Structure 1
């Protein structure tokens, strides 16, 4: 139910920006907002705006129209990071369509190849930047009390700063000695890159509802544990899912040399000769489909996949424990526990 309402709010917000751009600027500007709208509405679970809504409704059950408007702020921020992340990772596919920078590279393919590529990157940078601005505006104009909104905006800005620092660690870890990386290194990166926005989404909703600090702290813990489990599941699906389910090629993380939970555990659990084989794949210039399937079988055979799934299950239980003890609306308590189960069982 909320997913549809969130999508409607995103669509209406961007349609207004498109109309304004047509009036104030020119067709090229309107097309830019049209493309941002298409990119955002291709798909997505909308977990972050739903987190804003659940945080609020666990305390209060009013002002739904303003709440939906406020909730889309974090989806704009999330998609801002996706567009920039696709540039950093040099990805070409997102949710079954071209990444935002590739969309523009193709649109300007009549230019010399390198210039078209640079045009694509430029539009990708601007697209990501503008989505961050639009998220800020959505929260600022949502209709909630000014003091509540100002406090919520602090979480919005804090989330983006943590995401940037998480991306920085992710990049550095991808060129580090895999054998020196620990699960704690991985979880720190995830807490910054993935947990930050999910946690702050709940805190934005709770802040708009004027929740107490004990409730905020419990939701923070819940969100961090849940996000860590979510990222572990993402890592697993990135190697063991299908392109149809994920909307992007399988084995992308291997091709980028990313230090996923599977890679870090592998270098703790594999015998030396198998570690070398995996390292050879991770450092290859071009990884083949055979390499991807070899890595899949290897990690499964030596229990790496099972260990990653065990850690994920443990994190989900910790997440649920933080919610079960709270004095909040029982209906939303059950929803939050169901959400935790979905995260660890999902196939996309």
Structure 2
């Protein structure tokens, strides 16, 4: 096995190749409609191919191999469809959060806002950017379907995988809504924070990709149960690590401005744990500062200090470790191929002990 679990079986470059070929074909189709759509094709390609950890295809591929599936370019193409689901979710997430950057580059709505301004077009540049991002996110989701079904996998395999793929896309969409709802209502309960993490990210990052791979391979119920027992706690730990990085991460590594999650008022497990631990006066300050888009660096640092001194950061790190241990225990007992078990163990460690 290579040093990085994401490189096992040469997977990452193979996923990139599948995505590049598919997006090149889509670009040609768009240009047949109108040459003005070159910017749309280029923006989606830049977003999809410009970065990302490729975790979801990796979990799906090794879920497939663990369930007895044989390696092929067709299965790599099929699991690569998950990157288009991820692109759709991130494009829409950036729009809803009013994020200016993604991976150190302008977010999609900002990219098209800048295009509008540069071309001197009519109307509001920001409105044009928002509309473009909404449509490009939708387009990426539509294309995820097309890539899965044009992957070359047998129709019987795709028929087994389809319900998992559909349920995953429903879950991530309603999870996004619950995230927006939680910010709007100011719900700071640990129960709500856990549910948002579970449906917005945890299930579609690890559990559903594993189950998609198992379905493509024709895995039995024991494999499905083991993947669920492994994937759900690991996905929650992954999201909690993401939440920690959203508050304490280095912008040079994360590609997003420091404290953005605090300015957006995200009610994560980290924030909910702080609410549970502080006194009423501090809770009122948290209520007023969280979600303030004008929060400056001093305000961000004050919130970080409050969260840390309340013990919320330590509690979140402890929860990450507990969930990871639970996941790895389930993996150790799973009735799957040993090579896949080894790689999935490494993927679990890489998912929860990371700085980006």
Checking the alignment, whether the CA contact within 8 Å between 2:68 and 2:219 is kept in structure 1 is: no
Query: What is the TM-score normalised by the length of structure 2?
Result: 0.93
1:11 to 6, 20, 23: 20
Alignment of 1:252 onto 2:249 = no
Alignment of 1:191 onto 2:198 = yes
Q: Please give the alpha-carbon distance, in whole angstroms, between the structure 1 residues aligned to 2:292 and 2:311.
A: 24
Q: Deviating runs (4+, > 3 A) in structure 1?
A: 110-114
Q: 1:224 to 1:83 in 2, by over 3 A?
A: same
1:121 to 130, 149, 172: 130
Alignment of 1:169 onto 2:178 = yes
Q: Please give the alpha-carbon distance, in whole angstroms, between the structure 2 residues aligned to 1:142 and 1:283.
A: 42
Tell me which of the two structures has the higher relative contact order, counting C-alpha pairs closer than 8 angstroms and 6 or more residues apart. 2
Aligned residues: 345
Taking the TM superposition and a 5 Å limit, the aligned residue runs for 1:154-303 are 154-178=163-187, 181-198=188-205, 199-282=207-290, 284-303=292-311
Alignment of 1:323 onto 2:328 = no
Q: Post-superposition shift, 1:226?
A: 0.9
Query: What's 1:42 paired with?
Result: 50
Checking the alignment, whether the CA contact within 8 Å between 1:15 and 1:34 is kept in structure 2 is: no
Q: Post-superposition shift, 1:171?
A: 1.0
Q: Please give the alpha-carbon distance, in whole angstroms, between the structure 2 residues aligned to 1:151 and 1:91.
A: 37
Q: Please give the alpha-carbon distance, in whole angstroms, between the structure 2 residues aligned to 1:346 and 1:160.
A: 26
Q: 1:344 to 1:135 in 2, by over 3 A?
A: same
Give the 3-state SS of the residue equivalent to 1:108 in structure 2: helix
Runs of 5+ unmatched residues, structure 2:
1-6
Q: Please give the alpha-carbon distance, in whole angstroms, between the structure 1 residues aligned to 2:84 and 2:155.
A: 21
Query: What is the TM-score normalised by the length of structure 1?
Result: 0.95
Q: Post-superposition shift, 1:136?
A: 0.5
Q: 1:33 to 1:285 in 2, by over 3 A?
A: closer
Backbone CA RMSD of aligned residues = 1.6
Q: 1:329 to 1:117 in 2, by over 3 A?
A: same
Q: Please give the alpha-carbon distance, in whole angstroms, between the structure 2 residues aligned to 1:114 and 1:91.
A: 22
Checking the alignment, whether the CA contact within 8 Å between 1:136 and 1:153 is kept in structure 2 is: no
Checking the alignment, whether the CA contact within 8 Å between 2:262 and 2:291 is kept in structure 1 is: no
Runs of 5+ unmatched residues, structure 1:
none
Q: Post-superposition shift, 1:63?
A: 4.0
Q: Please give the alpha-carbon distance, in whole angstroms, between the structure 2 residues aligned to 1:69 and 1:15.
A: 14
1:123-146 deviation per Cα after TM superposition (whole angstroms, max 9, x unaligned): 111111111111101111112221
1:186-244 deviation per Cα after TM superposition (whole angstroms, max 9, x unaligned): 11111211123222211111111100011112112211111110111111111111111
Alignment of 1:32 onto 2:40 = yes
Q: Post-superposition shift, 1:177?
A: 3.8
Q: Please give the alpha-carbon distance, in whole angstroms, between the structure 2 residues aligned to 1:273 and 1:83.
A: 37
Moved more, 183-192 or 79-88: 183-192
Checking the alignment, whether the CA contact within 8 Å between 2:202 and 2:232 is kept in structure 1 is: yes
Q: Post-superposition shift, 1:19?
A: 2.1
